[in-house]
């Protein structure tokens, strides 16, 4: 699916009906991240929906930071979120907002609720509040402060703002229904005391609104028509509606919920991702194994592939887990079209051509992209000593193995036909050198007798090769649903990162940081920011489908039972 196309879904149907009926003249959505971590692939689904439907229906989407908890929020998270949204291909234009823009209005509305007898200052301990809320089978118990005089709550709330009380000494609660079947409605907290400096407002405030109070009212102030949230906020919608119906808000937005993105072998809890960073399990928020947008960008994912992935999985209300292989398949489709080809050897084995002229170096022409001749060609040095992949030679090989083996002739891509004449091993029996002869008349795969060989392998001239650190990534977790059976940390994959020293063709030094190229027959790789002038570092973005590996596995398994 093209990233500009979107299949119909229930949210788009609702929006279309609202516009057709005249309920709204134009739609306004918002993406409201909390700046307490980096955005991940689950956020990408929300971003594509929030900004996508606004664009499709001629509306606008706001970027609004839910900066109501200075204990966890930092400026570098704000900067990273902006960068990620823009990288994904969206722009909020002039519509950048913060919940903190509305702190004074939110405070006034909290006073309005107190004056209306719909809120009160609570002095019970946090433990007592939790205990008295009851549970799913028993109602809560009214706070002894629930019916305190309005004037007293107003006075205490003003003194909370003035900084007279310590953190946790008091909170402001909405007075709703302690017997409600929806636990969210059992007199939820509206404000808490936090003597912490705020990234934007500094020390102007020491009380901060709770998300449930700030969110809906911020939507109302901004004129949001369709407030799109994931399903975990479905139980919060009655509270969202309670606030907007009891306050003199300028507009009444409506909240709609959709299923969040659950991706196999992937953790999309921002709190748990932060734990991985804090405990040093990964190097940073943008570690290429992380499902953060910055980590995926560093690994070599393209914004087009992520947008196409989000369009493919669509918007539903039912929860489910999407197979990671779908994301990889969409990524391959995109990179196959745009990534230039290069040759690299990840597990080097030396090939020596016995009849090659001593000291001779020949330049061979290679295509930059076999499907796009307009991208031109490059020249690669071919010499008498080459590196090949260790797996491309076998002392003893099955019949359908068409790579290099004793007596076999193989085409060296863009170069010559080579025939294996022997090999050398070390004292452990491991092959160290493969000896070959070449046909001088076979350059480029063309021979006088027009003979063809079935095998073609890639190579790098050993005298001209660039040594490179290559990082091979696997899933960060070894379970489809990390933590499903206990602590998610127990499901970490110890083999999520393998580093090898590879040999690359010389043109690899011209690859830019962040650029993705295809290592022929190996996969797609991205130049990492850890690269230096004399040693490039590449991250494997995604492997190619290896048809030989599948065939070899089948052959090694032998005939099935009953065959």
pLDDT, tens digit, for every residue of 186-211?
Answer: 999 999 999 999 999 999 999 999 99
Cα–Cα–Cα angle for 356, 360, 364, rounded to 5 degrees:
90
For 163-192, what is the mean pLDDT? 98
User: What pLDDT does residue 450 have?
Assistant: 77
| Percentage above 90 pLDDT, the chain | 91
User: What pLDDT does residue 449 have?
Assistant: 75
Domain with CATH 3.40.50.620 in the chain: 10-262
Q: Which CATH superfamily is 10-262 part of?
A: HUPs (3.40.50.620)
Radius of gyration (C-alpha) of the chain in whole angstroms: 31
pLDDT tens-digit readout, 15-51: 999 999 999 999 999 999 999 999 999 999 999 999 9
Active-site residue flag, 424: no
Domain with CATH 2.40.240.10 in the chain: 339-465
User: What pLDDT does residue 445 have?
Assistant: 78
- Whether 329 shows a pLDDT value over 80: the answer reads yes
Q: Which residue out of 270, 298, 403, 413 is catalytically annotated?
A: 270
Q: Which segment of 72-81, 300-309, 312-321, 447-456 scores lowest on mean pLDDT?
A: 447-456
Quick one: pLDDT band at residue 6, thresholds 50, 70, 90? low
Mean pLDDT (the chain) is: 94
CA 210/CA 138 separation, integer angstroms: 25
| Percentage above 70 pLDDT, the chain | 95
Alpha helices (H) along 163-222 = 211-222
Tokens of 311: 């369009």
Active-site residue flag, 394: no
For 230-250, what is the mean pLDDT? 97
User: What pLDDT does residue 444 have?
Assistant: 85
Quick one: pLDDT band at residue 553, thresholds 50, 70, 90? low
More confident residue, 369 or 4: 369
Quick one: pLDDT band at residue 452, thresholds 50, 70, 90? confident
pTM of the model: 0.91
Q: Which residue out of 34, 123, 328, 385 is catalytically annotated?
A: 34
pLDDT tens-digit readout, 68-83: 999 999 999 999 999 9
Q: Look at the domain 339-465 and name its fold.
A: Ribosomal Protein L25; Chain P (2.40.240)
Active-site residue flag, 34: yes
* Beta pairing partners, 470: 500, 538
* Beta pairing partners, 350: 387, 433
- Whether 546 shows a pLDDT value over 60: the answer reads no
List Cβ neighbours of 125 (8 Å cut-off, separation of 6 or more).
Answer: 168
CA 263/CA 421 separation, integer angstroms: 50
User: What pLDDT does residue 280 have?
Assistant: 97
User: What pLDDT does residue 559 have?
Assistant: 41
Helix (H) or strand (E) holding 75: helix 75-88
Q: Which residue out of 148, 260, 274, 478 is catalytically annotated?
A: 260
- Whether 556 shows a pLDDT value over 60: the answer reads no
């Amino acid at each position: 699916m093209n990233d500009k196309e979107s299949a119909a879904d229930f949210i788009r149907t609702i929006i279309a009906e609202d516009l057709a009926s005249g309920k709204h003249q134009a739609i306004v959505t918002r993406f409201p991240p909390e700046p307490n971590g980096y955005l991940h692939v689950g956020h990408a689904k929300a971003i594509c929906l929030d900004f996508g439907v606004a664009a499709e229906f001629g509306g606008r989407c706001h970027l609004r930071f839910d900066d109501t908890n200075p204990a966890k929020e930092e400026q570098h998270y704000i900067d990273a979120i902006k960068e990620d949204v823009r990288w994904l291909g969206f722009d909020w234009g002039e519509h950048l907002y913060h919940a903190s823009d509305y702190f004074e209005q939110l405070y006034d509305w909290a006073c309005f609720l107190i004056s209306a007898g719909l809120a009160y200052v609570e002095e019970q301990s946090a433990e007592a509040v939790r205990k008295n809320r009851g549970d799913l089978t028993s109602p809560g118990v009214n706070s002894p402060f629930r019916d305190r005089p309005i004037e007293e709550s107003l006075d205490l709330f003003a003194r909370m703002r003035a900084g007279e009380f310590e953190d946790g000494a008091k909170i402001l609660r909405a007075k709703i229904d302690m017997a409600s079947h929806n636990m969210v409605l059992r007199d939820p907290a509206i404000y808490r005391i936090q003597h912490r400096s705020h990234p934007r407002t500094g020390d102007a405030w020491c009380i901060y609104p709770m998300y449930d109070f700030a969110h809906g009212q911020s939507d109302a102030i901004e004129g949001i028509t369709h407030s799109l949230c994931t399903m975990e906020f479905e139980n919060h919608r009655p509270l969202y509606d309670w606030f907007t119906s009891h306050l003199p808000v300028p507009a009444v937005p409506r909240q709609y919920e959709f299923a969040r993105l659950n991706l196999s072998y992937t953790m999309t809890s921002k709190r748990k991702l932060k734990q991985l960073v804090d405990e040093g399990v990964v190097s940073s928020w943008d570690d290429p194994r992380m499902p953060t947008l910055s980590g995926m960008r560093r690994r070599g994912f393209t914004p087009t592939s992520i947008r196409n992935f989000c369009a493919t999985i669509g918007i539903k209300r039912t929860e489910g887990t999407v197979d990671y292989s779908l994301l990889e398949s969409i990524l391959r489709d995109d990179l196959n079209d745009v990534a230039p080809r290069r040759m690299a050897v990840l597990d080097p084995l030396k090939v020596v051509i016995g009849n090659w002229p001593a000291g001779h170096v020949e330049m061979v022409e290679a295509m930059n992209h076999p499907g796009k001749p307009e991208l031109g060609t490059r020249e690669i040095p071919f010499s008498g000593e080459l590196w090949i992949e260790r797996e491309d030679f076998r002392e003893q090989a099955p019949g359908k193995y068409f790579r290099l083996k004793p007596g076999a002739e193989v085409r060296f891509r863009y170069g010559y036909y080579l025939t294996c004449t022997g090999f050398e091993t070390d004292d452990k029996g491991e092959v160290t050198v493969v000896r070959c002869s070449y046909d001088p008349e076979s350059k480029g795969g063309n021979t006088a007798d027009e003979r063809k060989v079935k095998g073609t392998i890639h190579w790098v001239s050993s005298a001209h090769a660039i040594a490179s650190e290559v990082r091979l990534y696997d899933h960060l977790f070894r379970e489809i649903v990390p933590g499903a059976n206990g602590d998610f940390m127990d499901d970490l994959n110890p083999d999520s990162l393998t580093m090898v020293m590879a040999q690359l063709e010389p043109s690899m030094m011209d690859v830019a940081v962040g650029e993705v190229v295809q290592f022929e027959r190996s996969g797609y790789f991205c130049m990492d920011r850890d690269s230096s002038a004399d040693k490039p570092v590449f991250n494997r973005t995604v492997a190619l489908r290896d048809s030989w590996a599948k065939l070899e596995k089948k052959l090694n398994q032998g005939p099935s039972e009953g065959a």
